[in-house]
Amino acid sequence: MAEMSANANVQIDASAPAPIHVRINGVTYTAQEGTTILELCRREGIHIPTLCNHPDLTTKGICRICVVEVVGSRTLQAACATPISEGMEILTTSEKVRKSRRTILELLLANHYTDCTVCPKNLNCELQDLANEFGLTDLRWKERRERTVPQDFSSPVFVRDNNKCILCQRCVRACDDLQGVYAVANLFKGDRTIVGSAFNRPIADIVCINCGQCVAHCPTGALYEKRSVDDVWRAIDDPERVVVIQTAPAIRAALGEAFGYPPGTRVTGRMVAALKAMGFDHVFDTQFAADLTILEEAHELLDRLKRTLVGGEKGLLPMTTSCSPGWIKYQEHFFPELLPNVSTCKSPQQMFGAVLKTHWAKSMGISAQRVVSVSAMPCTAKKFEAMRPEMSSHGLADVDHVLTTRELAGMIKQAGIDLKEMPEASFDDPLGRSTGAATIFGVTGGVMEAALRTAYEVITGREVPFEHLDIVPVRGMEGVRRASVRIEQARSPWAFLEGVELKLLITHGTANARQVMTSLREGTLDAHFIEIMTCPGGCLGGGGQPLPVTPEKRIARAAALYAEDAAHAQRKSHDNPAAQALYRDFLGEPNSHLAHELLHTRYVARGRY
């Protein structure tokens, strides 16, 4: 019988302080000490505009658009940074407040390069929304009609345009608080202040992991992803090309938001129908390759355990996952000495491309040179991953073009398709077949759970002992989570694992991963297997997902993926019949020589500067 435990450090204060009473616009409310005015107003449904504030990030109180009037205070107060106090009287819509907010907006717009109709963030810009909310049709200080700062196109995945920056520092805090990269900061002083990297170097010359969290948290068009839409349309329009698209698990739980669906609505079938209507020759599922990843990764973990516990080799454990390209680049920069701990498995995106341009193309009688491999991903870092020289098979790139979820939504709209009007359709065979285990790749803890479902059964011959295969201890949104599995009644040749407690760790957001890897480097971490996802919540919180990003949206998307997993007829990667056929007819077995040639890779140490 296997046992699993999850660490929990929950402390309950039995002597909670008495609630604080405040009046907002003449109505009395209560809240706990430490609550800010903004938090209380949001709880009670009282609208206060914000720009620099974001629930993912530390509070700075920079933009001042959230100012409110506190009776008795000499100046207006920033609601996001002002805690309530007993007896406080707050006015959120007084004349003084309205005039101040309007003036702040006018000043921001006066220093903002306005090409709104052709801006990538048009109709999805928080500054534009506030200008409309306040009815700013005529400004006292005219907005800028020319760029005064050069744009930075050097990044492989996104563009920085400081002419549209409002200095809210959300990108800075996303890079610092969430990712621990510290790539950008405020430079210079006064009216020359801009956001940039050290010595104002181009993005390509600094340590950047291409995760896109700066883009996802930017309220204006100062940051936006480089787009591959036109390249994909050209491929579709070329009769000599066979254009194949794969779609990642997290896409199906987020794409609908761009078409008015509530967050967490699954639109899998309608998405497939739309892609076929747009002219893609074959519509496949990245989840097929996620099942391959699990088969390869689970067997790699077992091999490392055997070489460590039986052979006495050092430096193989803990094994860390390798399917998140932002994390891989982070480790290449910050922890290169620990690269031997990284699984050699390619990500599902890259495994899919490798299989597509070799076995699938040959089986279809199509020259690999004619195949255009397109992926739809929630992640801007996938664009960089596809460009890596390691990610090729027989001289051809595994993946030719990467579309973010936002780009895919734009293409669907360009095609005149309303997703809500599309019928349900199914992915094409055979690379459209997958299991529920592959679906949960899109949420933090999902790769760990999928791997355990397979590895446990390989070791013991039995399913993981959790109701409906739901390994609840590895789920959740905590930044770092621990769990363990005790192996009992292990089969030969895995008898050496009898009685071993497999220690597991799950983390998301590279700032959290940095803490984990620092402990590993210092020799204080006790674990066998670590799942690391670059973005908050995993892929469903990726830098290419629909805007705006919020914790509530990530939770809703996670629930959608778990629901799709639960409803799936096959929920273990090794039960995927298409994957079984691929091994039988082509690869041989997991971790075979051919599997290593196509589905595995190595990464490189990069400098810090």
According to DSSP, the β-strands at 89-91 and 67-70 are antiparallel
According to DSSP, the β-strands at 282-285 and 194-196 are unpaired
Instruction: For residue 323, indicate whether it is catalytic.
Output: yes
Selecting among 33, 86, 313, 390, the annotated active-site residue is 390
Selecting among 165, 323, 345, 379, the annotated active-site residue is 323
Closest C-alpha to 106, from 133, 73, 143: 143
Instruction: For residue 367, indicate whether it is catalytic.
Output: no
**Phi, psi (5° rounding) for residue 159?**
-115, 140
- Find out whether 325 and 211 touch, Cβ atoms under 8 Å: no
Is the preceding omega at residue 430 within 30 degrees of 0, hence cis?
yes
Amino acid at 107: L
DSSP 8-state class, residue 532: E
Q: Which residues of 212-228 are buried (b: 16+ CB within 10 A; e: fewer)?
A: bbbbbbbbbbbbbbbbb
Selecting among 69, 126, 257, 300, the annotated active-site residue is 300
Instruction: For residue 385, indicate whether it is catalytic.
Output: yes
List, as one string, the DSSP characters of 41-58. HHHTT-----SS--TTS-
- Find out whether 426 and 268 touch, Cβ atoms under 8 Å: no
Cα angle 154, 158, 162; round to 5: 80
- Find out whether 520 and 318 touch, Cβ atoms under 8 Å: yes
Selecting among 297, 407, 531, 564, the annotated active-site residue is 297
Cα angle 480, 485, 489; round to 5: 170
DSSP 8-state class, residue 543: T
List, as one string, the DSSP characters of 320-369. E----HHHHHHHHHH-GGGGGGB--BPPHHHHHHHHIIIIIHHHTT--GG
Instruction: For residue 539, indicate whether it is catalytic.
Output: yes
According to DSSP, the β-strands at 20-24 and 27-31 are antiparallel
Instruction: For residue 89, indicate whether it is catalytic.
Output: no
Selecting among 329, 346, 382, 572, the annotated active-site residue is 382
**Phi, psi (5° rounding) for residue 146?**
-140, 155
Selecting among 539, 564, 572, 573, the annotated active-site residue is 539
Selecting among 322, 343, 373, 434, the annotated active-site residue is 343
Selecting among 385, 407, 531, 564, the annotated active-site residue is 385
Instruction: For residue 382, indicate whether it is catalytic.
Output: yes
The H-or-E segment that residue 164 falls in is none
446 HSE (CA, 13 A, CB side): 35
How far is residue 6 CA from its own chain's centroid? 24
Catalytic residues: 297, 300, 323, 343, 382, 385, 390, 539
